[in-house]
Chain A
Amino acid sequence: MSPARATWRELLSRYGILLAFLALATGLALLSPSFLSPSNLLNVLRQISVNALLAFGMTTVILCAGIDLSVGSVLAVSGALAAGLSVAGWPAPAAMAAALVAGTLMGLFNGLFVAAFRIAPFIATLGGLTIFRGVALVYTGGRPITGLPDAFDALGNGVAFGVPVPVWVMLAFLGLTQFLLRFTSLGRAVYAVGGNEEAARLSGLPVMRTKLLVYGYSGLAAAMGGLVLTGRLNSAQPTAGSGFELDAIAAVVVGGTSLVGGRGSVLGTFLGAAIIGVLNNGMNLLDVSAFYQQIVKGGVILGALLIDRLVAARKD
């Protein structure tokens, strides 16, 4: 293969997602006058923040060749716990911290089954999905928790330096995840375990601990998402987060992370979440029926997977 052609393929695999995002944004800007306004762009960033938070945690799990289907339910329990404790009299920061701890513990619960008991991640986290959803329903009694202190509204709807607070939270989490994955030994272990678990184990990497920690991190991210959503909705909904795991996985996959592990990045995930968010926002602005919106979204995800497969195949 000539050097020029090899460079084209490399460019596509490295910047493909960014180019796709820009093409989509350009198209929408031309079709709808409201799209490219600064307030709409901030609007989109705010709307993707919950999904992006879940997707950042999901990225670390998928990089380890795992999957976490319980994030939607963990989000619901965490949001409900923070709301319930606040209403019961706890100061808001303490209630939120308790929710984050609870989310991490739920994640570690999943991780225990995957790492220690060697249960397939799909099954283990599917169990987590149902159990934690039940916990959310029991705790809330099936009704939304309302009457929350202002701190929640500030978190979900506040603005700092002209940028919505959820966007700051999302960017902070993006920075944290990127740091963990690229600049710590844990991050290197994550990529190694995902790439080739046996080789990682034989090299002496702490495989079980790595897996446990990524599930815990996913739980923490889901809990953070739960706090932001509760703020945005001014209430803790028992049905919150239903189906969110699929959107998170979609963001990760569209962002270029491979489902078999070992390959990908959170920056890609952020772009993946942005692509989905821009699609949703654009289709709303263009008044596309919600039924067609579903078809388009599914098509984009399949398209992204297809391109990823073609690029990966050619590279080999």
Chain B
Amino acid sequence: MLTRVTLLLAALALLAPTQAEAKETVGLSISTLNNPFFVTLRDGARAAAAKAGLELVVLDAQDKVDKQVADVEDLIQKKVKVILINPTDAAAVVPAIKRANAAGIPVITVDRGASGGAVAFHIASDNVAGGKLAGDLVCKLLGGKGKAVELEGVPGTSAARDRGAGFNAALKAGCPGVAVVSRQTANFDRAQGLTVMENVLQAQPAIDAVFAHNDEMALGALQAVRASKRPIRIVGFDATDDAVKAVDACELKATVAQQPSEMGRLAVEKAAALVKGGKAPPATEFIPVALRLVTSEKCK
């Protein structure tokens, strides 16, 4: 029986249709599509791909590091021309990037960086500057004195690291009267933002402001703060639709607007240039994407 099976498989291998691809294919390994920020990033990438005449394959790692490694490996097998990666974890994705390097496929990281491997371009918001914007705003809101809480993103991501660094540096340099009394991770997730904030509210009798590394956590924290009826100002990051609505409704004090659509677009444009025969730069080229603070004038 086994001989027959082997013969069948061999025959299939010879007959396997060789499709002539009309369009060149670019792969995007995204960390998760459960977060509206990344959905917008993907949509920006898709639009740019359509304009550039490229086929875009999007694989969702669902925030699982092992799935992301498998996704990148599968993109390599599919022989895509460029791989765009939005890492779930900076270190875990390195072996996959090295595999792409060995296969001669250029890699571009988007929004979060990787801690190794050869990457042609790194397209991200200047998260340190964004953290600084938030820090300066918290200082202003508290009048230079008070207690703040920081809700961190997924440990190990450059986004969490840089936003935290910017925020804390701004407070240290310009606002010695504001103390960060609690610093916990809620992994960029709304449900975790809620539970972590509930715990912090229990643990800390006096809180004046909360800075969350992303809007999902800020919105989760908002639920907890509303239930506690304590007057706490909340600042988020990302300017997702829900957060902007909350800012307009005076529930969030502010959010820092990134431009995920722009990130997706830039990534695909750089990829298109590489596909057309452009050379990858010798060292990773960082392409910062501008940020701005979103507040509402009518709130007190």
Q: Which residues of A contact B (CB under 8 A)?
A: 15, 22, 25-26, 29-30, 33-34, 36-37, 39-40, 43, 46-47, 50, 142-144, 146, 153, 156-157, 229, 232-235, 237, 239-240, 242, 280-281, 284-285, 287, 289-291
Contacts and interface: CB of A to CB of B under 8 A. Distances in A.
A113 B262 CA distance: 55
Q: Which of B57, B71, B89, B91 has the most CB of A within 10 A?
A: B91
A284 B71 contact: yes
Contact of A47 (B59, B64, B70): B70
23 contacts: A30-B17, A33-B17, A33-B19, A34-B79, A36-B9, A47-B70, A47-B73, A50-B66, A144-B156, A153-B95, A157-B98, A229-B66, A233-B95, A234-B92, A234-B94, A235-B89, A281-B70, A284-B59, A284-B74, A285-B74, A285-B78, A289-B60, A290-B62
B155 interface: yes
B109 to A, nearest CB: 16
A235 B77 contact: no
B66 A233 contact: yes
A43 B71 CA distance: 11
B154 to A, nearest CB: 9
A144 B12 contact: no
Interface string B11-31: 011001111000000000000
Contacts of A15: 1
Contacts of B116: 234
Given A143-B156, A153-B95, A242-B64, 18 more contacts: A29-B12, A33-B17, A36-B12, A36-B13, A36-B16, A43-B74, A47-B70, A47-B73, A142-B155, A144-B156, A157-B95, A233-B66, A234-B92, A235-B92, A281-B74, A284-B70, A284-B78, A291-B60
A104 to B, nearest CB: 23
A232 B97 CA distance: 12
A156 to B, nearest CB: 7
Contacts of B57: 287
Contacts of B75: 284
A291 B76 CA distance: 22
B250 interface: no
A15 B1 CA distance: 10
B155 A144 contact: yes
A284 B30 CA distance: 13
Given A29-B16, A144-B92, A157-B95, A232 B71 contact: no
Contacts of A25: 9
Contacts of B18: 33
A144 B65 CA distance: 11
A84 to B, nearest CB: 14
B92 A142 contact: no
A285 B92 contact: no
Contacts of A29: 12-13, 16
A156 B94 CA distance: 12
B77 A285 contact: yes
A146 B91 contact: yes
Q: Which of A30, A146, A280, A284 has the most CB of B within 10 A?
A: A284
B95 A34 contact: no
Interface in B232-266: none
Q: Which of B17, B60, B92, B156 has the most CB of A within 10 A?
A: B92
A23 B229 CA distance: 60
A146 B77 contact: no
Contacts of B66: 50, 229, 232-233, 240
A37 B77 contact: yes
Nearest to B32: A290
Contact of A144 (B33, B59, B89): B89
B5 interface: yes
Interface in B74-104: 74-79, 89, 91-92, 94-95, 98-99
A312 to B, nearest CB: 23
Nearest to A143: B155
B115 interface: yes
